[in-house]
């Protein structure tokens, strides 16, 4: 049973009298422990798909099932609770809170969960160690490099041990050396911690670091040159 099932999902936006359809009945299965890159031209719908799987946006039609929960059927409040418990999000621009230390930024997602202070402390320390930033725990974002800020963002994404980690252009604002460091860290998180990872990227070299490469072309998903239809997934 796949961990993530995207079944005939479409997304539409109204732009005046025009209807924009970045996703057109796309289907995708992601197994536990997968590392999948979503690639495509700007505006192809890759970030839209990521946000639908993360429960940040809602599909126009179709089903998205994550760990046996059809999130397309959840009410807004229930969806927010589900997202806090199951999704870790890595942003392109870090999105750290400048008045909080690295430790406090990583701790933030845990404050939304029923958890003791001692358990929060343990999880934050483990996450900070996983990204090699224990020595920077008391530093503020302004005291860190861009690469260090992104590592804090990754620690924040994994601290709750989420069902799925989603990363939207996680190296888009970094130089080549720092990009390599972040990509190596993401691979290590997938391989050593066994976390399921979905990454949107416009960089084909970064995309090749994933175990699977999916491309969005004209609202459709392509893998190994073939469209990932629901019929194909059922028989694969």
Closest CA to 64 of 1, 2, 9: 9
What is the token pair recorded at 138? 């008391």
141-199 confidence digits (pLDDT tens): 999 999 999 999 999 999 999 999 999 999 988 899 999 999 999 999 999 999 999 99
Q: Give domain limits for the chain.
A: 31-59+68-220
User: Measured at the alpha carbon of residue 180, what is the angle toward residues 175 and 185, in degrees to the nearest 5?
Assistant: 125
14-53 confidence digits (pLDDT tens): 888 888 899 999 999 999 999 999 998 887 889 999 999 9
Q: Helix crossing, 146-158 with 117-130: angle to 10°?
A: 130
pTM for this structure?
0.90
CB atoms within 10 A of CB 112: 13
Q: Helix crossing, 146-158 with 176-193: angle to 10°?
A: 20
Residue 59 pLDDT > 90: yes
Residue 4 pLDDT > 70: yes
Closest CA to 233 of 206, 214, 218, 217: 214
Can you say how many angstroms the Cα of residue 94 is from the centroid of all Cα atoms in its chain? 13
Return the higher-pLDDT residue of 232 and 70: 70
DSSP code, position 208: T
83-99 confidence digits (pLDDT tens): 999 999 999 888 999 99
What is the model's pLDDT at position 41?
84
C-alpha 151/C-alpha 161 separation (Å) is: 16
89-140 confidence digits (pLDDT tens): 999 888 999 999 999 999 999 998 999 999 999 999 999 999 999 999 999 9
Q: Is beta strand 196-200 parallel, antiparallel or unpaired with respect to 164-168? A: parallel
Residues with Cβ < 8 Å from 64, sequence gap 6 or more?
4, 5, 6, 7, 9, 52, 53, 70, 71, 72
Which CATH fold would you assign to the domain 31-59+68-220? Rossmann fold (3.40.50)
What is the model's pLDDT at position 1?
80
């Amino acid at each position: 049973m796949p961990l993530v099932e995207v079944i005939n999902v479409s997304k539409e936006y109204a732009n005046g009298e025009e209807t924009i359809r970045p996703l057109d009945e796309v289907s995708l299965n992601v197994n536990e422990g997968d590392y999948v890159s979503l690639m495509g031209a700007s505006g192809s719908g890759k970030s839209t798909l990521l946000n639908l799987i993360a429960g940040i946006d809602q599909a126009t039609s179709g089903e998205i099932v994550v760990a046996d929960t059809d999130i397309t059927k959840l009410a807004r409040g229930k969806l927010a609770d589900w997202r806090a418990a199951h999704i870790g999000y890595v942003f392109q621009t870090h999105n750290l809170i400048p008045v909080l230390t690295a430790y406090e930024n990583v701790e933030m997602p845990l404050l939304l969960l029923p958890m003791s202070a001692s358990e929060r402390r343990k999880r934050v320390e483990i996450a900070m160690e996983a990204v090699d930033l224990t020595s920077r725990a008391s530093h503020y974002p302004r005291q860190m490099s861009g690469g260090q800020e992104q590592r804090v963002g990754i620690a924040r994404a994994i601290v709750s041990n989420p069902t799925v980690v989603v990363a939207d252009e996680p190296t888009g604002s970094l130089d080549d050396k720092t990009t390599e460091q972040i990509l190596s860290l993401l691979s290590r998180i997938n391989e050593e911690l066994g976390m399921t990872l979905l990454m949107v990227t416009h960089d084909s070299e970064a995309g090749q670091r994933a175990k699977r490469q999916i491309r969005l072309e004209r609202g459709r998903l392509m893998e190994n040159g073939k469209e990932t239809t629901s019929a194909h997934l059922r028989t694969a």
